[in-house]
């Protein structure tokens, strides 16, 4: 492990990759600070740029945006009582109360140092398990890949947080959109309607930028602004000895919680903050202080959300299954670069895997260096109204979509998906399963065909191979977990009648 991490540092430590790590961390912090512009929207906007970059450089920058947003969200939560990110909701409870007591500087330092500790520990967890998973990955073939993709799609539906039927409909729509274009096996045009621009399929940039970038802007513009930035002085930047003594073990426990829950599909990052906070409140000798400025109530969730943000890369890098919408876009960036996501990435592209892990260690240190000295700048940015920010973001989106193929079709697709994204949210349909269906659907189709070719059309290949059979059992278990409560409710109603 030590040798491979050193190898990763030689790749991530080049001036080019250090520059992209810095840009990603800076952008991540910025979008975390500004409520309404999340990492999902930002990554979708920058996706068009990644095709011109080296694969490692693009992933280093996108990863920096993702975990950098966890840092930036705490700044808004502490200073404005407004979480810049969903994972910073719990930070508001005690972080803002510390700020009101004149301890804003200490609160920001606790959040930054707790996140640094958690980020480094969680990244080392990834490195520890990587060799084991790498050996395991060599036994994967088309049947295992198809079963994995199916599990990923089902997990996206189950953990979407919306109604099962709506989520299933969105995943199916995403799979259908993914079939548009030229069939790789036969060369036949599918659902192109005679338009040569669709022969290569719908662009992931137009879809993701429209669904999550422009639609997010439209939704935020339509809602009223309410931001109150603290004008009081931040006070001493470093926590007192008593605050440090109480925060350190809380941050350690939050790191453990976040590292474990980060690998869960759906909202593992957000869930970890609530679990860490409740754990601290339960074991604390001063439970009455929680919600009134308890430093443990700030340190634990901040450590948990950053640890979870790091370990959420484990399913993406080892299995090719994204656990969050932002990581789904990073999976799309890998596909655009011609990289086949999945277990073989560790074996075939060790430079990509270990370079990204090393960049996370570097990026976490960068974030502390960026965040603490620039707090005054972030406070000033919080005062910039949305009506000035959003036209700039809109222009960047349009330029990014058009620059890929210099085609008006991409701009029309961008507009269509933006309108569709607004309608989906308005009617309660989750767009995330659609995105995952669009990305994982074609991969699942390709591996299903390969599996059938290998087995001569015998579907039992999915049950006779140990790994694919185990994944199929997991799929069945997940379906039963979802279906059984509904079955029990219907049975109880029937018996009452």
Residues 197, 409: contact at Cβ < 8 Å?
yes
How far is residue 29 from each of residues 268, 370, 390, measured CA to CA in Å?
Answer: 20, 8, 18
pLDDT at 490 (0 to 100):
59
Q: Is residue 34 part of a domain?
A: yes
Contact 213, 397 (CB under 8 A): yes
pLDDT at 232: 47
pLDDT tens track, the chain, 497 positions: 677 778 888 988 899 999 999 988 888 888 777 655 667 767 777 777 777 788 888 888 888 888 887 777 777 777 776 665 666 777 877 887 888 787 777 888 888 888 888 888 888 888 887 667 666 666 777 888 888 788 878 877 776 666 778 888 888 998 998 888 888 777 788 888 878 777 878 877 778 778 877 777 777 666 655 555 555 455 566 778 888 888 889 989 989 988 888 776 655 677 788 888 888 888 888 777 887 788 888 888 888 888 888 888 877 777 777 777 778 778 878 877 777 766 667 777 888 888 888 888 898 888 888 777 776 676 666 666 666 767 777 776 777 677 666 778 878 888 888 888 888 888 888 887 888 788 788 888 888 888 888 888 888 888 888 888 888 898 888 788 777 766 666 566 555 65
Which helix (H) or strand (E) covers residue 189, if one does?
strand 189-190
pLDDT tens digit string along 128-187?
A: 876 676 666 667 778 888 887 888 788 777 766 667 788 888 889 989 988 888 887 777
Q: Find, among 475, 474, 455, 456, the residue nearest to 465 by Cα.
A: 455
Structure tokens, 265: 């599909």
Distance CA 20, CA 275 (A): 33
Number of compact structural domains in the chain: 1
Give me the residue label for tokens 């339960």.
Answer: 282
342 found inside a domain: yes
Per residue in 434-491, pLDDT (tens digit) is: 887 887 888 888 888 888 888 888 888 888 888 888 888 988 887 887 777 666 665 6
The total of other beta-carbon atoms located within 10 Å of residue 464's CB is 11
* Residue 57, SS3 per DSSP: helix
Q: Domain range spanning residue 345? A: 2-145+209-433
> Within a 10 A sphere around the Cβ of 53, how many other Cβ atoms?
18
DSSP state of 288: G
Write down the pLDDT at residue 428: 84
If residue 182 lies in a helix (H) or strand (E), which one and from where to where?
A: strand 181-182
In a domain, 109, yes or no: yes
Residue 491 is assigned to a structural domain of this protein:
no
- The reply to whether 93 falls in a domain is yes
Q: Both tokens of residue 95?
A: 């972080």
Query: 181 phi and psi, to 5 degrees?
Result: 125, -165
CA separation for the pair 482, 390 (Å, rounded)? 40
183: in domain = no
Does any domain span residue 95? yes
**Domain presence at residue 412:** yes
């Amino acid at each position: 492990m030590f040798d491979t991490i050193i190898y990763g540092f030689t790749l991530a430590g080049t001036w080019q990759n250090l520059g992209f790590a810095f840009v990603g961390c800076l952008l991540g912090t910025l979008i975390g600070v500004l409520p309404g512009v999340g990492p999902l929207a930002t990554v979708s906007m920058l996706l068009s740029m990644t095709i011109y970059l080296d694969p490692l450089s693009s992933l280093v920058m996108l990863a920096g945006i993702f975990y950098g947003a966890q840092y930036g969200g705490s700044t808004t939560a502490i200073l404005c009582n407004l979480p810049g990110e969903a994972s910073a909701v719990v930070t508001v409870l005690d972080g803002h109360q510390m700020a009101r007591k004149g301890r804003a500087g200490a609160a920001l330092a606790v959040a930054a140092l707790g996140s640094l500790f958690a980020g480094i520990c969680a990244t080392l967890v990834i490195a520890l398990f990587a060799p084991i998973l790498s050996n395991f990955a060599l036994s994967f073939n088309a049947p295992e890949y198809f079963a994995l993709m199916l599990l990923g799609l089902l997990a996206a539906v189950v953990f979407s947080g919306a109604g099962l039927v709506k989520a299933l409909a969105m995943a199916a729509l995403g799979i259908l959109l993914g079939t548009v274009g030229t069939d790789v096996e036969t060369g036949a045009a599918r659902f192109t309607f005679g338009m040569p621009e669709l022969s290569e399929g719908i662009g992931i940039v137009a879809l993701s930028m429209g669904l999550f970038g422009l639609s997010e802007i439209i939704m935020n513009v339509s809602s009223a602004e309410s931001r109150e930035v603290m004008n009081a002085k931040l006070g001493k930047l470093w926590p007192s000895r008593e605050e440090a003594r109480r925060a350190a073990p809380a941050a350690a426990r939050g790191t453990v919680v976040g590292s474990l829950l980060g690998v869960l599909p759906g909202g593992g990052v957000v869930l970890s903050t609530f679990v860490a906070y409740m754990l601290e409140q339960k074991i604390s000798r001063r439970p009455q202080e929680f919600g009134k400025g308890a430093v443990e109530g700030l340190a634990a969730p901040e450590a948990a959300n950053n640890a979870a943000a790091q370990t959420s890369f484990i399913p993406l890098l080892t299995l090719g299954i994204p656990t969050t919408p932002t990581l789904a876009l990073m999976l799309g960036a890998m596909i655009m670069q011609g990289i086949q996501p999945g277990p073989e990435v560790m074996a075939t592209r060790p430079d990509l895997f270990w370079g990204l892990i090393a960049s996370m260690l570097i990026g976490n240190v960068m974030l502390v260096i960026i965040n603490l000295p620039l707090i005054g700048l972030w406070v000033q940015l919080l005062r910039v109204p949305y009506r000035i920010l959003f036209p700039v973001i809109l222009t960047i989106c349009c330029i990014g979509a058009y620059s890929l193929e210099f085609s008006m079709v991409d701009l029309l697709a961008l507009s269509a998906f933006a309108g569709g994204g607004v309608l989906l949210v308005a009617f309660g349909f989750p767009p995330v399963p659609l995105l995952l269906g669009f990305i994982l659907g074609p991969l699942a189709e390709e591996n299903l065909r390969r599996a059938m070719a290998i087995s001569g059309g015998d579907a039992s290949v999915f049950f006779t191979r140990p790994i694919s059979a185990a994944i199929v059992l997991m799929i069945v278990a997940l379906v039963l977990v979802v279906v059984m409560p509904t079955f029990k409710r219907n049975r109880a109603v029937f018996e009452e009648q």
